[in-house]
Amino acid sequence: MAVTKVVRYLRLVTVNQQRVARKRTYLMCPPEHFTVEYAINPWMDPQTPVDPELAVKQWDRLRETLTGLGHEVFVLDPEPGLPDMVYAANGAFTVDGTGYGARFKHEQRAAEAAAHQAFYRERGWRFVAPLRTNEGEGDFAYLPAAHGGLILAGYGFRTELPAHAEAQEALGRPVVSLNLVDPRFYHLDTALAALDDGNVGYFPGAFSAASQQVLAQLFPDAVLADDTDALAFGLNLVSDGLNVVLNSEATRLAGRLRAVGYQPVPVELAELKKGGGSVKCCVAELRP
Ligand code: ARG
**Does the residue 253 lie in any domain?**
yes
16 CA to centre of ligand 1 in angstroms: 37
Candidate of 26, 29, 41, 231 to mutate for ligand 1, largest count of ligand atoms within 8 Å of Cβ: 41
Give the number of domains in the chain.
1
**Does the residue 13 lie in any domain?**
no
pLDDT of residue 135: 99
**Does the residue 121 lie in any domain?**
yes
The catalytic site residues sit at 187, 281
Counting from 1 in the atom list of ligand 1, the atom nearest the Cα of 280 is 10
231 CA to centre of ligand 1 in angstroms: 14
What 3-state class would DSSP assign to 231? Answer: helix
277 CA to centre of ligand 1 in angstroms: 6
What 3-state class would DSSP assign to 54? Answer: helix
Strands (E), the chain: 25-28, 72-75, 92-95, 98-101, 126-128, 140-143, 150-155, 175-179, 192-194, 200-202, 223-224, 238-239, 243-247, 263-267, 284-286
**Does the residue 198 lie in any domain?**
yes
Candidate of 29, 85, 90 to mutate for ligand 1, largest count of ligand atoms within 8 Å of Cβ: 90
**Does the residue 256 lie in any domain?**
yes
pLDDT of residue 1: 45
Cβ(17)–Cβ(221) under 8 Å?
Answer: no
Residues lining ligand 1, Cβ inside 6 A: 40-41, 44, 84, 87, 89-90, 109, 138, 187, 189-190, 275-277, 281
7 Cβ neighbours under 8 A, 6+ residues apart: none
Buried b (16+ CB within 10 A) or exposed e, 110-129: eebbebbbebbeeeebebbe
**Does the residue 9 lie in any domain?**
no
**Does the residue 146 lie in any domain?**
yes
* Among the listed residues 132, 276, 157, the one whose alpha carbon sits nearest the alpha carbon of residue 208: 157
47 Cβ neighbours under 8 A, 6+ residues apart: none
Straight-line distance from the first to the last Cα atom of the chain, in angstroms, rounded to the nearest whole number: 53
pLDDT along the chain (288 residues), means of 10: 49 64 98 98 97 97 98 98 98 98 98 98 98 98 96 99 98 98 98 98 98 98 98 98 98 98 98 98 98
Separation of CA 2 from chain center: 43
Candidate of 281, 282, 285 to mutate for ligand 1, largest count of ligand atoms within 8 Å of Cβ: 281
Cβ(236)–Cβ(193) under 8 Å?
Answer: yes
279 CA to centre of ligand 1 in angstroms: 11
pLDDT of residue 177: 99
pLDDT of residue 10: 47
- What CATH number is associated with residue 171? 3.75.10.10
What residue numbers bound the domain in which 282 lies?
A: 23-286
DSSP structure class, residue 137: G
**Does the residue 138 lie in any domain?**
yes
Judging by DSSP bridges, how do beta strands 126-128 and 98-101 pair with one another?
Answer: parallel
Counting from 1 in the atom list of ligand 1, the atom nearest the Cα of 190 is 11
